[in-house]
Structure 1
Amino acid sequence: MKFYTTSSTGDSGLLYLGHWINQYFHFPFRIMSADIGIDAEIEILDEDLHSNGLIIKAQVKSTQSPINANFSEYVEKDHIDYWSKLTVPVIYFKVDLKNNKIYHKIISSLDGIELTSSGNGNKRKIEFDLSKDLLDLSSKQKWLDFFKVVEYHNMYSYIEKLHDEIDSVVVDNVSFFQNEVIEELLEKLDITEIYFKKLEALKNLYPWKFGKEINDKIECLNEERRRKMDYLHREQQMLNYD
């Protein structure tokens, strides 16, 4: 049986990437047993090495030839489409085994990826910049910022703030208030719109984290907010009419 060096290069690059991620980022790195366009997954941990519940999928390509200039990778369009449809982020890695360097591109952002014609069909060209796309210690924070890991943990605090802010607006005796007081209460309710928008943005990033219970709770808060705003607007109109 003949051992092909291409297989050796691929395995070496995958193992080197896993070692690098584990040593410098302290993130678990798991090689996938069944490869359907994804070679491995990386689990994001916080500063205390606790799981954030976020998994990054990795596609890894390797080379024994030194990379000394900006370069491009050509990937089947179907692969890019598949990665874009996944509910978790995907990063494309290129491992330079000669120089012991790793370059990466976040596929989820689609930055630096353009459609081109190559060979027998359409492919995507992924452009790499040796300085910008080099995997180094600063990449960890860039990942956390891009995937908004910290923001995800604010989901429950946003819901709690919404509850407290909306609950603090008491409208039972609002008919005895002055117009200035009504304006103040309306302003408090207007400010809560920020938290609803933040929750909507998080839902777009992590749709699988927003189950029925969470969605129902957010909708109830939104309904209560609308009810109080409608009531205040009616009272305000009556005051202005008088």
Structure 2
Amino acid sequence: MSKINSETRITDNKGTAAFHTYCSHHKPSISWRAVSNDDIGIDGEVELYNENGEPLAEIIKIQLKSTEKDKGYIKNENPNNKTFTFYAEKDHVEYWQNLPNDVLLVVFDNRNDANRLYAKKIENIDIKNTGTKSIPIQFNQESDLLDVSKNDFLGKFSRTLNKENPKIKSIPTGEEKLISNLLKISFPTNRIYIAPINYDREEIIKSSWQTDRYLKKTATAREVALNALSQQGLKFSSDWTVFNKQVITFHDLNDKNLPLSRIVDTSVIESFSPEEFYSISDDHKSVFKAFLRFCLQQILYKLKFEWDREDKIFKYRVPFTIDKSFEHKEKWKGDKEAKRTVFKSQYWEKGKVYYCTHFAFSVDIVDFDNQYFLCLNPTWLVTINGNRKSKIGYKKVSQLKKLERNKSVYNHLRFISYKLTYVDLFTKNYPFIQFEDLLKLEIDKVIDEDTWLKVASDEEKNILKDREEPNDIKDEY
């Protein structure tokens, strides 16, 4: 069967010919070179010359799209403000922005034999915060029109000669301060105590079968240790761990009044600095990070946050028995004293249950050059009656996330940071771990937000605008 010259191919050839004609008749002339082999997102390139015919050492990559149908590449056409939208594939936009050359997106509109060319430079499109597979790029039918009679291509697009923006891929200069989601961790006592366990694992497991705290043979070392304490009628806080049949804690195991010392051999207690311990091996570093998470559970429990094992996040505890719809707020101080909603219950008559929204956050412990940081990521959790996770709660969390802007997330982080760092005469500080304020970074590059907004669609501009938090998470002053 012979090959068919499809309508799409014919339209593409018309677009290529129209752009070639434009380049040939432009003064000074523009050299157009089509890509001979198939390329990803690039159809050719142009080389620019000055009025004397001397090359400017500038080559611009061209992506050319052609249409002759109303249902083609031209979308959202608005005759009032003379605009339309082209939806580019996300992978293509990422490719264009990674190229060292400037990239020009050219759209050939031949509907009703219009024979019009529009050109838009590709710069600083924020693709990380777009969840779709396509990126909207808005064209203006007047300012983005390629009119050969104006001979203004260099004035618009040359790095050397354009008057509005000397660099198509501009590099903003200056300094900018970034607020990270990292809290530096320090260890005031600078000591870790380690001692071997003094019980037999199998005996503890068998003894548990006679109690209401039944252990399986596959129980973790920590579960067995907790049961060993329980069988002696003892309890202890969560800030310890078990590794290689040894208990590891910041608490001094030499203290015979310490419940934890009852399950270790106190004759062979060792003491290390945190750095001495986690520097032994990668395994010891992993154990140290896990140990810090148990310490964090202890710290946050006193701050009314409890560990949710299923979602692996810290959620605000139910303040009291739920018997009505209500909101609970916590006091905190940023620039000034405020109250923040951390828990809300709403009664659902049909299911006869309360849907509860908990302020929450996940944490990670990271290290850089032997300095340890707590990495915070604010979120929300929806439960039924304050305990059981709601199967449709993710929808409510998704709604809240969509409402949040930069300021909302920033204030979430400041609130958590305030809770972890606040100390007064009436607050008993956790003696083994301290947190500093959110880490601030100064960089010698600025984020050119004006450029982002210039190329963004109206919907993107609305998203990028920083506003006050929505009512259900807004601070009250």
Q: Structure 2 length normalisation: TM-score?
A: 0.28
Instruction: Quote the residue 1:141 is aligned against.
Output: 155
| Unmatched segments (≥5 aa) in structure 2 | 168-477
Question: How many angstroms apart in 2 are the aligned matches of 1:30 and 1:83?
Answer: 18
Structure 2 residue aligned with 1:106: 121
Residue equivalent to 1:125? 136
The aligned residue for residue 386 of structure 2 is: none
Aligned residue in 2 for 1:200: none
The equivalent of 2:55 in structure 1 is 51
Distance (Å, rounded) in 2 between the aligned partners of 1:20 and 1:4: 25
Give the conservation status (yes or no) of the 8 Å contact 1:92–1:104.
yes
When residues 7 and 88 of structure 1 are mapped into structure 2, their CA distance, relative to the original with a 3 A threshold, is same
CA distance in 1, matches of 2:97, 2:24: 25
Partner of residue 8, structure 2: 6
Identical columns (%) = 32
Deviation at 1:109, TM superposition (A): 5.3
State the 1:99 CA deviation: 0.8
User: Higher strand fraction: Structure 1 or Structure 2?
Assistant: 2
Task: Kindly indicate whether residue 63 of structure 2 is the aligned counterpart of residue 32 of structure 1.
Answer: no
**Code of the aligned partner of 1:123:** S
CA distance in 2, matches of 1:90, 1:60: 11
* 1:1-242 matches, cutoff 5 A: 1=2, 2-25=4-27, 26-34=29-37, 35-65=39-69, 69=79, 70-97=83-110, 98-108=113-123, 110=125, 121-136=132-147, 137=150, 138-144=152-158, 147-149=159-161
Paired residue secondary structure (1:47): coil
Letter in 2 for 1:58: I
1:12 to partner: Cα distance: 1.2
**1:115 and 1:77, CA in 2 relative to 1: closer, same or farther beyond 3 A?**
farther
Q: Report the AA paired with residue 20 of structure 1.
A: Y
Q: For residue 40 of structure 2, what is the amino acid of its counterpart?
A: I
- Structure 1 segments unaligned to the other structure (5+ residues): 153-242
CA deviation map 1:75-126 (0-9, x unaligned): 1111111111111100000011221111110013549x99766xxx521111
Change (3 A) 1:143 1:115: same
| Distance in structure 2 (CA, Å) of the matches to 1:115 and 1:47 | 42
Alpha carbons of structure 1 residues 18 and 38: separation in structure 2 relative to 1, 3 Å: same
CA distance in 1 between counterparts of 2:97 and 2:128 reads: 14
Looking at structure 1, the residues matched to 141 and 119 of structure 2 have their Cα atoms a distance apart, in angstroms, of: 10
Q: Residues of 2 paired with 1:48 and 1:139: CA distance?
A: 16
Please state how far the C-alpha of 1:72 moved relative to its aligned partner.
0.8
Where 2:100 maps in the other structure, the secondary structure is: coil
More helix by share: 1
The 8 Å contact of residues 97 and 124 in structure 2, kept in 1 or not, is answered as no
Contact 2:40–2:92 (8 Å) recurs in 1: no
Q: 1:53 to 1:139 in 2, by over 3 A?
A: closer
Distance 1:116 1:110, change over 3 A: closer
